[in-house]
Amino acid sequence: MKAKNIKTALAALLVLVLLSGVGHAETLEQAWAQAYQTNPGLAVKRSELKITQEQITMARTHWQPNISAVTSVGKLYDKTPGNAMLPPSGASTPRNYGVEVVQPLFRGFRTIEETSVAQKQALGHYALFQAAEQQLFLNVAAAYLDIVRDQAVLDLNRHNGEVLDRQYKETQKRFDLGEVTRTDVLQAQSRAQGAKTALVRAQGQLANDRAAYLRFVGTSPETLKAPDMKLEPPLDGDAVVENAVTKNPAVIAASYSKDQADDETNASLGSLLPELNLVGSATRGWEQSEFIPGRQDEARVMLQLKIPLYQAGTEYSAIRSSEHKATARRMELEDVRLAVRQSATGAVQALTTARSAVVSDQAQVDAASLALDGVRKEAQAGTRTTLDILNAEQELLAAKVGLVQAKRDEAVAVMQIKAAVGVLTAEVLGVGR
């Protein structure tokens, strides 16, 4: 029994040690690094990239010779009409072994084109992998900033609930003293209950965004620090859009896909050209026939030329298919460029709008704060009602929540612009090194 307890204690200790080793990101950079290492979606893209890189090796093998070992054994029956000059009819057991080497010399330029196709495919998938990196980092940043926003909104609602609860109790006391009416008490009570509802909603929103963070990063968030988002160089909308249509990973991937389709067309055309191989072989055999009963050694080196004269049509169909594919990829590239241009333009506009909102919301917070102080003083002088105070407090809360949201939108827009111009990658951010 004691041994069982000891094993249980050791198992619990091991679990604690393992759990203590799980890190929790506190900064956005740490969250990016953790997501880059653990996110399963990005791991899938990383594996797909390795698959395409192997295609280059496979294409290059056509430059190399094929070497085969050959052996055979069998029974040969030879019947020769009677002739004094020939050996009598009979049976033999021919057997041999040897080696054969086939070195491709010319395949209608297909080896060159197939290698180029594989290289373009690998480069295109690397660009797609960078696009996946950027999307992951953008999702992590959005989830991170959402939690920072939600925590701030939760704190604001919690503080507002405490203020309104005190307001309600003070109003109840004033009603007991006959200073205010029952309506004032009910208004204060209504606002206090509304603050509790808003607090519950803020808690629910925070829980949802924490789940999104867990999905992308892999661990539950702890205390997150608000990041300092800067856009360097300063915002230039035209420059952002022009850089996006040339440097965005999605555009680069589509460009490589178009080039790959062109090379595939050239490779298909190569199937109509001659092939030239250098073939060498060396064999040793026994009892090859009744005429050669002993051992026989043979070695030969030959040039083998294969010229297509008639083909059933598969090659021509493949050429037409490749040409249609190349046309589709060119149209796809233009579509991706237009989509990226639209996305970059939207990100620039979102940043401009968010920055304006931050300025105006800050001014609104300052004005609402002064207005609340003034209403409270006027209420003490008897020129303002309880409802006026409640409305002023509500306006101040709305202004503060709006400012928090605007700052979050500004930071997300900065991330979107960086993603549009292709600088939100692990290489640029220094993540995963």
What CATH number is attached to the domain comprising 365? 1.20.1600.10
pLDDT at 254: 96
The answer to whether position 202 is within a domain reads yes
**Could you tell me if 188 and 293 lie in one domain?**
no
How many other CB atoms are found less than 10 A from the CB of residue 29? 13
The pTM for the full model equals: 0.81
Do 292 and 367 fall into the same domain?
A: no
Residues 378, 399, single domain; the answer is: yes
- pLDDT computed for residue 85 by the predictor: 55
3-state secondary structure the chain: CHHHHHHHHHHHHHHHHHHHCCCCCCCHHHHHHHHHHHCHHHHHHHHHHHHHHHHHHHHHHHHCCEEEEEEEECCEEECCCCCCCCCCCEEECCEEEEEEEEEEEECCCHHHHHHHHHHHHHHHHHHHHHHHHHHHHHHHHHHHHHHHHHHHHHHHHHHHHHHHHHHHHHHHHHHHCCCCCHHHHHHHHHHHHHHHHHHHHHHHHHHHHHHHHHHHHCCCCCCCCCCCCCCCCCCCHHHHHHHHHHHCHHHHHHHHHHHHHHHHHHHHHHHHCCEEEEEEEEEEEECCCCCCCCEEEEEEEEEEEECCCCCCCHHHHHHHHHHHHHHHHHHHHHHHHHHHHHHHHHHHHHHHHHHHHHHHHHHHHHHHHHHHHHHHHHHHCCCCCHHHHHHHHHHHHHHHHHHHHHHHHHHHHHHHHHHHCCCCCHHHHCCCC
Q: Are 156 and 404 in contact (CB under 8 A)?
A: yes
In a domain, 8, yes or no: no
pLDDT at 294: 79
Do residue 294 and residue 364 come from a single domain? no
pLDDT in tens, 131-173: 999 999 999 999 999 999 999 999 999 999 999 999 899 889 9
| Residue 284 is assigned to a structural domain of this protein | yes
> Are residue 225 and residue 362 in the same domain, yes or no?
yes
Residues 248 and 371 in one domain: yes
* 41/79 same-domain check: no
Q: Say yes or no: 88 and 225 in one domain.
A: no
pLDDT tens digit at each of 433 positions of the chain:
444 444 444 333 333 333 333 446 689 999 999 999 999 999 999 999 999 999 999 999 999 999 999 999 988 776 666 555 555 566 778 889 999 999 999 999 999 999 999 999 999 999 999 999 999 999 999 999 999 999 999 999 999 999 999 989 988 998 998 888 899 899 999 999 999 999 999 999 999 999 999 999 999 998 888 888 777 777 888 999 999 999 999 999 999 999 999 999 999 999 999 999 999 999 998 887 766 677 888 899 999 999 998 888 888 999 999 999 999 999 999 999 999 999 999 999 999 999 999 999 999 999 999 999 999 999 888 888 888 989 999 999 999 999 999 999 999 999 999 999 999 999 998 887 6
- Shared-domain flag, residues 259 and 383: yes
pLDDT of 295: 85
Domain harbouring 81, CATH code: 2.20.200
Give yes or no: residues 245 and 113 share one domain: yes
Which domain does 208 fall in, by range? 25-64+108-272+314-429
Query: In terms of domains, do 191 and 224 share one?
Result: yes
pLDDT per position as a tens digit, 84-99: 555 556 677 888 999 9
Domain boundary (263, 291, 307) is at 307
Structural domain includes residue 14:
no
Are 258 and 361 members of one domain? yes
Q: Residue 180: what pLDDT?
A: 87
Domain membership of residue 93 (yes or no) is yes
Residue 3 resides in a domain: no
Q: What is the pLDDT of residue 10?
A: 38
pLDDT of residue 7: 44
Does 286 map to a domain? Answer: yes
Q: For the chain, how many structural domains are there in total?
A: 2
